[in-house]
Amino acid sequence: MTTPTIARPIDGKAAAAAVREKVAAEVARLSRENGLVPGLAVVLVGDDPASAAYVRSKGKATVAAGMRSFEHRLPASASQAELLDVVALLNADPTVHGILVQLPVPPQIDPHAVIMAIDPRKDVDGLHPENAGRLASGLPALVPCTPLGCLHLTKSVHSSLAGLEAVVVGRSNLVGKPVAQLLLAENATVTLAHSKTRDLPAVCRRADILVAAVGKPGMIRGDWVKPGATVIDVGINRVATDDGKGRLTGDVAYDEAEKVAGHITPVPGGVGPTTVAFLLVNTVRAACAAAGLPAPAL
């Protein structure tokens, strides 16, 4: 009788810590040699607890890396014009190299208008159409942070992605589409699947690399996973528990998938920590570009 194989978890915390360490070293070098201190501004509208926690973690990570951290908070009642005024000030501030408006924003504000208002050179979330278009065209661009983390973790277990079959489940502008573009740039054969995909389980079972980014807890079952596949779970969902505290879970049924996959990211502790790490990377890249310096080796 063959003993079931248990997938090796991909340690996102350790990977993120290593990236942050490199960022801190690069920031110290830029300050020492060029007098350049990258600056990241985060704008929060309203008092959503989860968004506020994200903003705090980003601020702490920015300061820990030796960078300037700017935080702007607006009340939930703020108008779109008020938010756009803040963005305009940050666009014009030479000490701010990266601008991130924490999403979601209240319903009276059009998020697309906000994204369009951010200077593409400071768009460290990588959502401006100019950056999305450059990514799709294979040109240098600021790329969304979570997809960069997904690619980093995938490459930590594959020396080359060339020729591998990748399936991305989810087609959002923030994760699904840019992840697909990044994998394609690594010469993987990419399928971008979604809610209208016919026989989604069969499509997933083809994947050497399976990226789940749909926001539905446990949607990807164990029998959807190809034996030995690398599974990257982007989902962060809070589900109810008997004690009322709730727990975080991904888009993949982890207990099932780990019996089939070769490598898998846990939730929490997988993709999540890398998002903030690559936000710092993007800010340093934007600062170097603004100063006319070579792109940092990050």
Distance CA 152, CA 15 (A): 8
Please confirm, yes or no, whether 102 is among the known catalytic residues.
yes
Task: Tell me which of 123, 125, 208, 233 is the catalytic residue.
Answer: 125
Q: Please, are residues 99 and 119 in contact by the beta-carbon 8 Å criterion? A: yes
The C-alpha angle 55, 281, 10, rounded to 5 degrees, equals 85
Q: How far apart are CA 122 and CA 287, in angstroms?
A: 8
Which residue of the set 102, 122, 177, 233 is catalytic? 102
Q: Which of 11, 13, 47, 58 is catalytic?
A: 58
Is residue 58 part of the annotated active site? The answer reads yes
**Cα distance between residue 51 and residue 107, in whole Å:** 15
The CA distance from 239 to 69, in Å, is 33
Q: Is 199 a catalytic residue?
A: no
Measured CA to CA, the distance from residue 83 to residue 293 in angstroms comes to 31
Q: Which residues are identified as catalytic?
A: 58, 102, 125
